Each structure stands twice: as structure tokens, then as C-alpha cells.
Chain A
């Protein structure tokens, strides 16, 4: 129970006060009316006595009464109607709302902090009104009239006459059986005669004389002269007089008005209403005659139009039922007591005191004494006897009683003068004058009697009052008998079926229990009384019970909340919307955010509804918003209902303020960090054979690796453009901004190019959401073209499309629990700063069917398909939080976020816009295949375009041809069978010898300093005019590696005009090429031993080329033809083909392998001298009848590209190695002689069957030969890793690289060859020694002078070897020391001596070599691996 203003010790005496009736003459009433008050009202503020009163009890003890209050009210002749009471109570409660600024106190219970209003004024006023409006009943006398004031005015013609008339009337009311109401305490009621005198108008003398007359007639103690109206009402305004009535009347003003006839204000003695200034309507005329209409119904009676007495409002007008509210308003402005001065106030106060002291209290004292005497006299008889005799005499009553009990429910009914009632009467009187001791004992006695008689109603009443008086006894001699109360309540409720009495009992008892901190009992009591018959009462009691729970020593928060909800429910049933809302809101505090989502939703929903009906739309909206925002566990139907309700409320809100800002909508969710912004046009789909560059689009997933690649590419090209330095203000161009991109700078958009914003929506509900008229919301700050700053900042709204065009998506459906993105476009038409603020749309749902799948995905194609049930227009802002900053210490210690400017693009001036199309661009290639395609460059903007470049990580993949027009074939018309190569028809005779040409690598864009990745596109005029398009040929070569290749092209271009903001633009393309295996080329080079060709002075080489068809037949390749093998080198060239097989065409079917052998020569010295170092000599060996000019595009292009990429690869490996070697010149020299820089190009044709058509594909493979005797491959082959690796254990090797060159390297320093006859016939029988001349040729392969030692002595150690070699001896000098100059050839004439026939190996001479200028000697035997066999025959 909430705290009350009054303590219980004040409350109960104030609830039960002595009642005094007032009966006024018309004239007297008129006098008081001048103050807008009735007589009873006039007395009301003064009805509490300020001083203590003394009284003698029956035992002549002095009894002190403190704070006695009396209630003066006009006589009412009819009991109150229950309906009227209900209405009154309703109004009282709804009129009392918590004050706005009420400071709620915070109660902390467990982990709950609750804001609870400590007081419940509505409950107190309800209680007060309820207790006041209790109808008087027969079983108790507390609110029966004890006395009656008869009031007449001094201005009346016959005042004394009037008094006797009034007296008669009172008598008639009390004793005539026509009036069962009001009830009177005892038969001879105290009559008190009051003469009202108007000081300002009346004659004082006359009044005094009448008063004298009265005193003589009624005695000094029975009459009073009350002088009022000391000043005229019309001059009231200049003096401020306290208005003590306001607090009484204001409080009841609603009550007064709504119940029409609240006693004090309207009981007028309207007998003489014609003389009254109020005689306003015809109804008055019929009430003229006689007194009956003096006596009004109970104040709470319902308005009955037929009842004449109801129709007069005392003050100023006849009140029709409909004008209720006007009167209410009118009444508040009235000043009460305008004609009264402070002296008058004192007079009234004095009057009340006089009345109480001289009239009322002596009367009560006397009555008590009388009753006491009666009881005492009856005490002579034994109590039991008394009751026994009574039973005896009224024996017939007993069986009747049981029947009565059923019928009457209250059990026995006593006649009014029954002796049992006398004691109750006395008890009540004692109680009224606060003599609680006596009252308790009387009640106690009465209770026993009634219980004996089974008069349940009476017994309950006695029990109730006994309990109350026991509680109120001063000094508290006995504990509060709560069980009395319980019994009383139960009896009232169950037996008597009198809820009103039960309620009073509960209210009192609960209050008492509360004062004793017995909250749980109080709560139980209050809850027990809630029932279906009165919602208002149940609501109030439940609320009080809830307060009891929270006020307990250990507060029961959840019980509090639950009962608050119950109370709220009952309030809403009772029509008390505000109270209901308040209850729910208070309960919400407990349920909020604790995971009880169903309950929370329910409360929110109710709050929303209640707020809506109370027109608190903002609250309603936020409550509904809550239901929808949280991850709801409700069913789909429920969610649908919530959503509909929400939309409905929202619609109302927006209708209220149509011009206001658009409301923020809670649905659907927007994942704002997933917002992506794209600048530029949508990609055009492939158009026939034309295939547009992939560029950037929103469909691409973000890939950090690839974006890094693109960035590097762009940096490369920018560096090339800026002569190797990347400008400091360079930032990579970003076309698509997402959460991964760098959004710290304002992005740049180009005017007239669309901006697409992708917004990620998510529908958390189980019902589909339909967004209509979805578009972006933005703000634009245009910038004037003139250079000076334009201060004018225009805020534009979406409707103005002159600056920015906005695309509107007419329908956008999001299914249940779906995430979906919407792409919204803006078309800037003006430069300036754009800020995209959010999205604006109509939110709605779909009527009916829930099963809308996929079809809704395409907006626009089914406009109007869904019948919109309801939709509201609103917006949602896009606010993107930037990345968390973590650089400085301050940023690390606090949580700070950087800006994210994704949505704030700057619109800049026009830039050229390039579109690139690829024509005949293949998707599948054989490895090494050459294909010709075309690229079309289109400038779609209004600006000329220049500086077009392309950059790629794989420059060996494509070429645009050489720099010079001679080398590049003219761009022919596209034809399929036409060879990509430049060919020349040759005669078949020259097929064995090489055709030589030369070309410089610079011509093919492979310079030293320039990066090979950046390739300028050879535009005809180097400028692309607006709207112009250029087609260029482009050759592609399938990458050597099998598989799928993604090759990125980055096209770079600039505007002709220099732009400060955007220097360049880029276009991306990713080509996907699938390659399949074709040929595998392996080549070795070795020194030729033959010397007969004088042309190649010591420089002949043999080149072996193995070509294997590794193609698996799946690709449809029938066979490969090797059409040409070319060499390319700075120093070497192929001379001719050796041992050409008869398979002239060099066909290779699947998995076939062919071997070619070529002779290579050193280029002529003079040629080499004239050539720049970059000049390569190309030598072609043709197998067909067409020569492919290998020094022209595209063959040479690809050769150079693969060379450069190969170089790059090896450089990285060599760089470490080379550094070490630089110190060792000697080693290098030695190594140098092993090096060869011969590159082999294998050109082939493949016959492919595809769709029953035969196609010829062409291609080329490159092999780069560097080291003599070492195998080189066209492409490093991947070794299939074995299933299980053999484990090897070995010591970690000495990592110090030996400064000595390897044996192998040294052995190549000197080339040796033996010349001798293969078989030699010698007649051994003639001559036993056979001498054979042998020539040993020594040729120096290195470029330095070499000292050579030739040792002919046998050094074979193993006897086995001796056996094999047989025995022969060299004759003559056994050791030669020579010095060979660079590339010098020297021949030694040797003689071998044989003694037997047989086969001998002549390869025994051992050759040692060392560099002659070297101090350190690397002396190593030159291996002579080849056996040199000679056959000696005997003839």
C-alpha cells in the first residue's frame, strides 16, 4: 500500500464523524448563495473544532475529545444508487492523476532499480469518496443523523413561522413512514435553530429582535444568530480574502458537477424559488408546492430527467445533461465566499463551536447516558436469561431464521427499537466521540449478542467496529484483533453478499495492517477482495497490493510487477486509461531487458495501445517500436498483428503532422556498415562477340588479395607515368567503397555519372515487409563554376532533381527473416558536395498470404501485385561508423572511431570515360597457343582521352605488337584461319638452312629501364576523341602452365585537361583463361666435337630439342606439327638441322615425342661488334613451306616477354649468387665459358577437331638455354610428389660455397678431340710394332689465356681398366705444356704404338688446364669422357 497523506489514526476518526442534517428555508439558502455556496458548504471549512472538547462519560469521568469534526449536510431523502456511486468513484479516480513533476522515489530491490510514485492520491480520494458515499444502513448508526439544523433568514416575513414550518417538516421526514431515508440516530433528534442575517442588506435591529424571540421559544442553547455577508458582493474584487472552500470544493468539483446534485451545493429550499433569482425554468413551477422537492436524492443518484429536483442547479443555470463539461469549466472560475469578510469567517467558526459545545455534545452526552441507563437497568436480568427468554418468546423465529438466512443472506433482522440495537447505538455514539474504550466493550458485547442470535450482518458490523476501536484505543491495551476483521469481511462478502461493506472493511483493515507493517497480510486482504463485479475497485486494490509487495522488508519486485499488470488490466477494463498506462509502465521497469520477452512484448503492446487511445502517439510509437526491434519470439501471426498496429499508429502520427520531418522507421534493419557505394555506370553485358571489360561492379565480392593486386598495378602505372616516382598525394582509385576500403577521404565522383548505393536490409520478422517508393535521401551543396567560393549553401531535398537525379524503386519486398540488398542510384548533374543521408520509403506489409517467395525479388516487374494493407512513409538514416583508431596512445587508451566518408562524395568536373571491349577473346587456349583478338576502346564521355596504358602482372600473356609499323602486321580483317603470324612462302630447298634476321628488343617495348608490365596502348593519334572508338589487334599467348588463369589488366588513362582532383582514371579487366597442355619442349646444348667447319672457330654447338606432345586427347587435338624452330640470341644462331628425319612435317600425335638436332654457330665477329647489346639475331629453320618471321610480331613479342619474365625470375635467384662471384673473377671466367645464351623458339601448329570442324591452332614455345650440357625446359615441370617421401638423414652441409669452380665447369675450359683413323690395318707379321699418328686438338673455350698440360702417361690404377684398354703406349714426348690464347685451337701430333691387334681406347691423355694469369692454380684434369676407340687389324 502506498503512503498516504493521512495516518491511519487520523483517517478512521475522520471517516466516522457525527452527522448533522441541515434544513434551510429558501430565503436562507439565497443568502448563502450569494457566496456561491450552500449552507452546508458554507460551514464545511470550519467543521473541525480547533480546541479540545470535554465530555463526561456515563461514569462521570471526564473525557477529552481532540480534533472533533462534524459533518453538516443537507437532508437527502433517497438512498444513493449504486450506479451513481460507481460513476462518481470513476470520476474521482480519473480526475486524480499523478502530478507531472512528482518526484518518484527509487526503490532498489536486488538488481532492480524502480521508479515508483510513493503516493497514490487517486486511491486516497477514491477511499474518501467511497467512505463518504456509504449509504446509511440499518445495522449500524455511524452515519445516521444525530441532529438537525433548521435555518431561516432574518429577512423573511415571518421567521418564527418559518422555523416552526421547518421543524414540522423535519419531524415529518423522520417519522413519516414515507421516508425510509435518511436514517436518524434516535427518535427525538436535536433541533438547532439558526437565524441567518445578511449584514449588508438586512435590518440588524429586526434580526436581534427575532433572535430574542427565538431564544425565548427554543432556549439560548437551541438557537443561534449567524451574521454573514458583511460586504456586498459587487465590490469584492479589490480585497483578497483567503478562500478556505476551494480546497474542499475543488476536490469535489467534478463530483459536484457530474453527480448533478451533490448535497451541499444544490440543496436549495426552493419552495420559494420564484422569489429566488434562480427561478429560471418551467420545471420550477411544478415544484413550487410543498416540501417534497426540498429533499433531494442522495448526491450520488443518477440523473433522472423525470425527477424535477434534479433539474435545478443551485447557482446560475439549469444544467442540461450535455453541458456537463461547460459547467465544470465555469465552476472553477467562481470565487467562493465573495461576500464574506474575515470577521464572517470567525463568526461561522464560532457558530460551529457554539453548536457543538452547547447543542450537539450535551445531546450526545445525554443520549449516551440514557442508553447506558437502559442497559444498566437491563443488566439486572442475566444476560443469558435475557437471551434465553428472548429465544423462548420468539422461538418461532429460530426456524424462520434459517430460511431468512437463505433468503435474506444477512440472517436475522431486528426491528429498529430492538434492545440488541441499543447497545450498538451506544457503541457507535461512543465511537463518534472518540471514546474508544467504551466503544470497544460495547461492540464486544453487541458482537456476542448478535452472534448468539445468528444475526450475521449485525455481528459482522460489530466485529468490524470492535476491531477498529480496539486498534484506536489509546495506549493500545490489546493487540489489533485481525481475525475480527477477517471474519467480518468474510461474513459481509459471503453471507451478506454486501461487497460495499466488505470493501470498507478491507480498506480499513488494510490501512491498519499497513500501519503495523504487516504488508503481506494487507496484500492478501486486498487481493482477496478483487472480483469480477467491479473493475475499478479491483484495479485499485490490486495496485495497493502491489505497493504492499514492494514495501515489504524484502521487496517482492516481481509480485509487485505482476500485480501492477493485473491492476493495469483492470484499470483499462474500467476505462481508466491513464491509470492503466501508468501501471503498465511501472511494471515494465521490472520486465525490461531481463529476457522475459513474451511478457515484455505483451506489456509493450499494451502500453502502445493505451498510449494510442490516450493520444500519446510518441509513446505509442516507441512502445510498438520496441516490440518490433527486438528479436521477437512471437509467432508470425502475432508479429503481423504487431506490425499492422504499429503501422496504423504511425500513420496516425504522420497524419497529425504531415509537414513535420519524416519519422524514423525501425524496420527493416539496415546493416549500415555493409553499405557499399559504387561510382560509375553499370557494366554492360556481353554484346555478341564483344565482351566488355569486367571493371568493377557491385556484384563482385571483395577480395583483399585481388584489391591489393589492383592497387599495386595502379601504383606501377602511376610510377611509370610520373617517371618512376609515385606522387605523395597519390591514392588508389576506388570505384567501389565498402567496409574494407579506405574511407577516410571524401570519395570523388564525376558529374553525370551515376552513384549507386547498395543498402543491406534485413527483415527480422516472420512476416514479409514491403517497401515502396524506396529512394535515397541526400543533401547537396552545389559549387559554383566561378572560382570564388560561393557562400550560399543550399539544402536540397530529394524532390529537386535538377541538381541530382534520384532513382526510385517502386517496390522492394523483403521476405520473412531475409537479408537483401537494394541498389539505389543518384545521378549528379552539378558539381559540389553530396551527402547521402539515408533512405526514405513507405513501409508496409503484405495482406494475407505469407508465402511470397522469390518472385518479389525483382522490383518493378509486378507493380501493384500486392494489395497494400497499410504503409507509412518514413526514413532511416545511414550512419556508418568508421574504423577504430589505434595509432596514438590516446587513441589506444580510449575508444575512438575515425570518420567514414563513404556516403559523402564530392562531385567533380567531367572526366573521360573509357569503355573497353574484347572481340574474339578466347576462354580456352592450349599452353603456348597464339591467338589474335581485337580490343575496342571507346570513349563514352564528352572529354578527350589520352595517355592510355595498360598494366598487367602477366605481360607475357598478350601484346599489341611492336613499336614500329614495319614489324607489326597491318590489322587485318578478323578471320579464323588466317595465321596470327607474319609468314613468307619459301621454296622447299632452303628448308635445311636457317634464314637469318635480326630485331632489337627495344622495338618490342622491352627496354632496360622501363617496366615491362606497363605497356602503352598504341592509339592511332594517342588521343581518343569523345565518342570515338578504336579497334586494335591483340595477340594472346596461352600461359605455359596448365590450368585456369586469372589475368588482370588495368587500363590507365588521363584527361587531356589536367584536373586537380582526379589525375587519372582506370579501368579494370580480369580475363579468365583456361589452358590445357600442349607440348613439352626440352633442349640441351653441347659442344660439337667436329672441327671441320672452319667457319665456327671453336664455337660450334649442337642443340638437341626434344618435343613431346603432352596433350591429352580430351581437348580434341589430333596432332601437333612442328613447323619451325627458330633461335634467338645475341651471339649464337642456328645454322642447320642435322639428321633431319624423313618425317618432314614433324608430326606428333598424342603422347609422341620427337627429337631434333641442330647445329649452332657463333655469330660473326663483326656482326656481333656492330650489334648493340640489345640486338638479337633470329635464325629460322623451317619444316613447312612457309616461313614465320620470328623477328616480327607477334612471335618476337612473346619471345621477348617470356625472356624478360624469365630474366626477372632468375635475377632474383642469381642476385645473391652473383655477388659472391664478383670477387672471384677467375671463377667467373671459367664459368663464362660454360655459358651460352641461346634461346630456342618452337613454333607449332595443332590440328584440332571441334564441333566436327577442323581448326588449326598455332603456338610457340620458348626454351632458354644458358649452360652447356644442361637440360632446359619450355616450362619447369612439376614433379608429382611421391605418395610417400623417403626420409633422408644427412648432415647439414657446409654452406660455405666453395670458391673453386666445380669440376664440371673446369672440364669445359678446354675442348679436346682426337683425330685418328677409325681402323688401322697393320701387318703385324711384318712389323711387330704398329705406329698410328693421332692428332689431339685442343681448343680453348674461354676468353682468357689458358695454360694446358697434356700428360700421356698412363695413370690407370685399376688392373681391370688396364685389361680393357689393352696395352698401347704413346711414343714421343709424354708431356706437353702449352698456352692457349682465347679461343685458340692447337693441334698436337701424337703417335700411338700398338703391339697387338684389337680394339683400343685412345682416350687416355689427360689434360690439365689452368688460367694462365691466375696466381692460384686450378689445375684439373680435363675429362675425356668419350672413349676413342681404334681398331687395329692384322693384315
Chain B
């Protein structure tokens, strides 16, 4: 069960960010923003040649006291960041990976919408619902 899911554009501004406990939104924003450094680091750590065949899933970006932050980068350098409650031990790497894959699929659907202007904030209800389902449902 994710606590916060964010989609970050290539230029590192948020396309979509939603967190489950809405009262503490600011904290998650900071957390996601800071995680971008780690994402950058992970991407740049890979050699140029490896970039093509690299895996999109970046794994655990960093843990904090209460949360774990996972990352995923699409080939177009759009970043997905997921914050997960660290007390939730049911979530293993594989589950996170599949959640990211779902997110990616849904994101692709949004991009396919001819009325969506790339670079705008995502305001798709379908995407919303999918994100909500990932935040609520225990994978």
C-alpha cells in the first residue's frame, strides 16, 4: 500500500502527485523532491551504453524512519516515485515492481489521450482511480 505516488517530468517538475494522508502533503512533496537526487545519481551511475538496456525499476531510493521511497524511470526520463510505509513488510520488491508497471501502463494511457498536452499536469480520472486503488489496496 503506497502512501504517496508521484509522477515527475523529465525537467523535474511534478506532473502528478498524490498522497494518502492529505494533511501531511507538504512532507511528501519534500520527500519526493529530495528523492530526485538519488534518481539522478542512479541514472548517471549507469554508463551511457547501459542506459538503453537498463531496467526501468530503480529499486529502493532511500529509506527514512517511517517510509521507504522507491523509484522508476521511463525511457523518456519521466520518473515515478512511490513512498511506502516501512512498517508494511508485505511489500516486497516484486510487488513494488508490478505496481510500478501498472502505473507505467496507466501513464501511457494518459499520454495516448490526444487531448493531453505533454508537460501539463495530469488530470485524468482514470489515472486518478488507478493511483487511488494502489494506495488503498494491499498488494
Q: Which residues of A contact B (CB under 8 A)?
A: 110-111, 549, 554, 556-559, 561-562, 565, 591, 594-596, 598-599, 602
Contact = CB atoms under 8 A, between A and B. Distances in A.
A937 to B, nearest CB: 58
A524 to B, nearest CB: 11
23 contacts: A110-B40, A111-B11, A111-B12, A554-B44, A556-B37, A556-B38, A558-B33, A558-B34, A558-B36, A558-B37, A561-B33, A561-B34, A562-B30, A591-B33, A594-B12, A594-B13, A595-B13, A596-B14, A596-B29, A598-B26, A599-B29, A599-B33, A602-B26
B40 A554 contact: yes
Contact of A599 (B12, B30, B37): B30
A602 B29 CA distance: 11
Interface of B: 11-14, 25-26, 29-30, 33-38, 40-41, 44
Contacts of B44: 554
Contacts of B33: 558, 561-562, 591, 596, 599
A1098 to B, nearest CB: 78
B64 to A, nearest CB: 11
Across the A-B interface, the 4 shortest Cβ-Cβ residue pairs: A595-B13, A556-B37, A562-B34, A558-B37
A46 to B, nearest CB: 49
A558 B34 CA distance: 5
Contacts of A561: 33-34
Nearest to B14: A595
Q: B13, B33, B37, B41 — which one has the most chain A CB atoms within 10 A of its CB?
A: B37
A559 B37 CA distance: 7
Contacts of B25: 598
Contacts of A557: 37
Contacts of B11: 111
Given A556-B37, A556-B41, A596-B29, 14 more contacts: A554-B41, A558-B34, A558-B35, A558-B36, A558-B37, A559-B34, A559-B37, A562-B30, A565-B30, A591-B33, A596-B14, A596-B33, A598-B25, A599-B29
Contacts, number: 42
Q: A554, A561, A596 — which one has the most chain B CB atoms within 10 A of its CB?
A: A596
B95 to A, nearest CB: 27
Contacts of A602: 26
Contacts of A110: 40
A599 B26 contact: yes
B75 to A, nearest CB: 19
Nearest to A560: B37
Contacts of A559: 34, 37
A596 B33 CA distance: 8
B48 to A, nearest CB: 15
A561 B37 CA distance: 11
A580 to B, nearest CB: 17
Contacts of B13: 594-596
Contacts of B30: 562, 565, 599
Nearest to B28: A598
B101 to A, nearest CB: 26
Contacts of A598: 25-26, 29
Nearest to A110: B40
Contacts of A594: 12-13
A15 B67 CA distance: 40
A557 B12 CA distance: 12
Q: A110, A111, A565, A591 — which one has the most chain B CB atoms within 10 A of its CB?
A: A110
Contacts of B26: 598-599, 602
Contacts of B36: 558
A558 B41 CA distance: 12
Nearest to A600: B29
A591 B34 CA distance: 11
A556 B37 CA distance: 5
Contacts of A562: 30, 33-34
Q: A111, A565, A599 — which one has the most chain B CB atoms within 10 A of its CB?
A: A599
A466 B40 CA distance: 38
B73 to A, nearest CB: 15
B66 to A, nearest CB: 15
A602 B35 CA distance: 19
Contacts of A591: 33
Nearest to A520: B41
B121 to A, nearest CB: 8
A110 B39 CA distance: 13
A910 B12 CA distance: 64
Contacts of A565: 30
B32 to A, nearest CB: 9
A562 B28 CA distance: 12
Contacts of B29: 596, 598-599
A596 B37 CA distance: 15
A413 B120 CA distance: 67
A517 to B, nearest CB: 16
A362 B37 CA distance: 56
Q: A556, A565, A595 — which one has the most chain B CB atoms within 10 A of its CB?
A: A595
Nearest to B9: A595
A914 B53 CA distance: 83
Contacts of A556: 37-38, 40-41
A111 B11 CA distance: 9
Nearest to A558: B37
Contacts of B35: 558
Q: B13, B25, B33, B36 — which one has the most chain A CB atoms within 10 A of its CB?
A: B33
Contacts of A554: 40-41, 44
Nearest to A601: B26
B16 to A, nearest CB: 11
A598 B14 CA distance: 11
Contacts of B34: 558-559, 561-562
A562 B31 CA distance: 8
Q: B26, B29, B30 — which one has the most chain A CB atoms within 10 A of its CB?
A: B30
A128 B49 CA distance: 49
Contacts of A549: 37
Nearest to A602: B26
B65 to A, nearest CB: 12
A594 B36 CA distance: 13
A554 B39 CA distance: 12
A596 B36 CA distance: 13
Contacts of B14: 595-596
A561 B31 CA distance: 11
A549 B29 CA distance: 19
Q: A554, A561, A594, A598 — which one has the most chain B CB atoms within 10 A of its CB?
A: A598
B46 to A, nearest CB: 13
A107 to B, nearest CB: 14
A961 B44 CA distance: 91
A407 to B, nearest CB: 30
A111 B26 CA distance: 23
A549 B34 CA distance: 11
Nearest to B36: A558
A913 to B, nearest CB: 53
A595 B30 CA distance: 12
B116 to A, nearest CB: 17
A562 B37 CA distance: 11
A110 B44 CA distance: 12
A358 to B, nearest CB: 58
A532 to B, nearest CB: 13
A79 to B, nearest CB: 35
Nearest to B37: A556
A594 B12 CA distance: 7
A595 B13 CA distance: 5
A1156 to B, nearest CB: 66
B21 to A, nearest CB: 14
Nearest to B11: A111
A557 B44 CA distance: 14
A60 to B, nearest CB: 54
A561 B25 CA distance: 18
A589 to B, nearest CB: 13
A598 B33 CA distance: 11
A826 to B, nearest CB: 44
Contacts of B12: 111, 594
